[in-house]
Amino acid sequence: MKKYDLIVVGGGILGTFHAYHALKNGLSVVLIEKDPQPQGATIRNFGQVVPSGMNAKWQRIGRRSLEIYKELQSITDISVRQNGSIYLASDDEEMSLINELADINAQNDYPSQLKTSADCLARYPGLKPSYVKGGLFFPEEVTVEPRLAVHQVRTYLIEQFHLDYCAGQLVKEIEENSNGCQVTTANGKSYHSAKVIVCTGSDYQNIYPELYANSDLEVTKLQMMLTAPQKGQKLPGSILTGLSIRRYESFTECPSYTPIKSKEPEGALSKKWGIHILFKQALDGSVILGDSHSYADVSHSAELGFDIDQQINRYMISLAKDIFDLSTWEIAQTWYGIYSQCKTKDIFETTIGDSIHIITGIGGKGMTGSPGYAEQSLKRIFELI
């Protein structure tokens, strides 16, 4: 019977980076994933790595993620591109917020640059002069290709660090005994280890359903679109717009945030559907466009349904058309993604017995926060600090 130092359950970004840091610390690891290839939130997102959007705590974690992504990219191609992030302000209120955030960043020693509308129009072809009043640019930030990155990190870990990867195996039971932990899959296989880290995202039904049902975890459903490749139009990096300035946590730390938010009309469709407009161009020139947010408690998650609401997509496209002239608005794909988050905390962490650690609920910041967060959490769990 082989006994690993660590079993990681769940091959999304959080599980994969726990495996990464464990292997880098010389531990033996098996990663168990229920699907042939992971296809949860980690695959369905924009791939924006944006510490600029996070509160002070998560910005520090996200900045460490940036270092980890860049270090990995210097060793092997995991689809990281450093083209920076821009927040485009569309009115005086949003201009105030980006100015205030620039001051906060200066105090935190995080590079950001205020841009005029002319700067923005020059860098982002197709951006509408009628929309943009100015921008805040973060030169250190990167993007990844969500449908490639986690697979490429995992391949690197298998090839260079002898990660054992068991795909298509749904974990049904985890037990702690005097010899450590035993993990059993639906197809009857057993794995043994000193410790287990469970990073199963928004899947609350297969293991520990009662624990999740009694927690403050919830699920969020987001609608996303992908345009056909844009001909000759290059939109570098992450592009976030006025509604993101009004939504992202970093801006809540700005002095004028609360008075500005209190003036927003209650009945706006963007509020009702939790919409803000983000653009991220993929390697083939297509543009990922989104997103909307709807929420449900763990025990009511099925009520979010499996449909894509075309009314929401049409509205997001109409907002996007106010911001950019894209060379094509042909929508090649639509999908939804689901992530788990806590209502009152910034992540869900709990330990069962001595050796089973559940970590989920990282919310909408997982591509940004996971590499840095997993490093700290792995060190805590294995008492490496």
Q: Which residues bind ligand FAD (CB under 6 A)?
A: 9-15, 32-35, 38, 40-42, 44-48, 170-171, 199-203, 206-207, 222, 224, 291, 337-339, 360, 362-368
| Cβ-based nearer residue to ligand FAD, 114 or 308 | 308
> Residue 22 CB, nearest distance to ligand FAD (Å)?
15
> Residue 234 CB, nearest distance to ligand FAD (Å)?
19
> Residue 220 CB, nearest distance to ligand FAD (Å)?
7
* Amino acid of residue 162: H
Contact 56, 213 (CB under 8 A): no
Query: What are the contacts of 62-67 at 24+ separation with CB within 8 A?
Result: 62/365, 62/368, 62/369, 62/372, 63/110, 63/140, 63/372, 64/371, 64/372, 64/375, 65/368, 65/369, 65/370, 65/371, 65/372, 65/373, 66/140, 66/141, 66/142, 67/372
| Cβ-based nearer residue to ligand FAD, 9 or 235 | 9
Distance CA 295, CA 301 (A): 8
> Residue 43 CB, nearest distance to ligand FAD (Å)?
7
> Residue 18 CB, nearest distance to ligand FAD (Å)?
9
> Residue 185 CB, nearest distance to ligand FAD (Å)?
7
Query: Which of 104, 178, 176 is closest to 136 using CA atoms?
Result: 104
- Which residues contact residue 51 at a Cβ distance below 8 angstroms, ignoring those fewer than 6 apart? 58, 59, 60, 61, 62, 63, 65, 66, 110, 138, 141, 368
| Cβ-based nearer residue to ligand FAD, 189 or 255 | 189
| Cβ-based nearer residue to ligand FAD, 40 or 134 | 40
- Residue 118, both tokens: 């002319």
> Residue 263 CB, nearest distance to ligand FAD (Å)?
28
> Residue 40 CB, nearest distance to ligand FAD (Å)?
3
* Chain length of the chain: 385
> Residue 383 CB, nearest distance to ligand FAD (Å)?
23
Q: Which residue has the tokens 């105030």?
A: 96
| Cβ-based nearer residue to ligand FAD, 180 or 337 | 337
Helices 13-24 and 366-381, packing angle to 10 deg: 40
ω into 291 cis (within 30 of 0)? yes
Distance of CA 69 to the CA centre of its chain: 14
| Cβ-based nearer residue to ligand FAD, 95 or 276 | 276
| Cβ-based nearer residue to ligand FAD, 115 or 365 | 365
| Cβ-based nearer residue to ligand FAD, 90 or 244 | 244
Distance CA 174, CA 26 (A): 24
Contact 317, 287 (CB under 8 A): no
| Cβ-based nearer residue to ligand FAD, 230 or 368 | 368
> Residue 38 CB, nearest distance to ligand FAD (Å)?
3
Contact 256, 313 (CB under 8 A): no
Distance CA 163, CA 335 (A): 31
| Cβ-based nearer residue to ligand FAD, 90 or 368 | 368
